[in-house]
Amino acid sequence: MNYLKKILTKTTAILVVYLMLINTALAKTSGDSHASTPEDNLPYLFAVFALTWAGIALYIYYMSQKQREIKAELDSLKRNQE
């Protein structure tokens, strides 16, 4: 489980850095050649929306695993105490 957490953390960090670099590159190349409409930004909105929900889902999964581990440890302690 710890290995999975490390991979997930590194992958998330790499993805965030990659998206920041891509966004910076796109901002520099686009310039003021054409006016931007709100519809032009819908893919970015969807990407952020999807990443946010993916992050929430991963957080819920992580917390449920932690809760399961703590419950197992408590059960083990109760058995050892008796």
Q: What is the Cα–Cα distance from 50 to 55, expressed in whole angstroms?
A: 9
Q: pLDDT grade, residue 1 (50/70/90)?
A: low
pLDDT at 32: 55
Q: How many residues does the chain have?
A: 82
Asked if residue 76 lies in contact with residue 12, where contact means CB atoms within 8 angstroms, the answer is no
Q: Are 30 and 80 in contact (CB under 8 A)?
A: no
pLDDT given at position 17? 81
Looking at the chain, the whole-number percentage of residues with pLDDT higher than 70 is 85
Q: What are phi and psi of 35, to 5 degrees?
A: -75, 140
- Helix 42-81 and helix 2-30: axis angle, to 10°? 170
Give me the mean pLDDT over the 2-14 stretch: 82
What pLDDT does residue 29 have? 62
> Which pTM does this prediction carry?
0.54
**Domain locations in the chain?**
2-27+41-81
30-62 tens-digit pLDDT: 555 566 788 888 888 898 999 999 999 999 999
Q: In this structure, are residues 1 and 63 in contact, taking their beta carbons and an 8 Å threshold? A: no
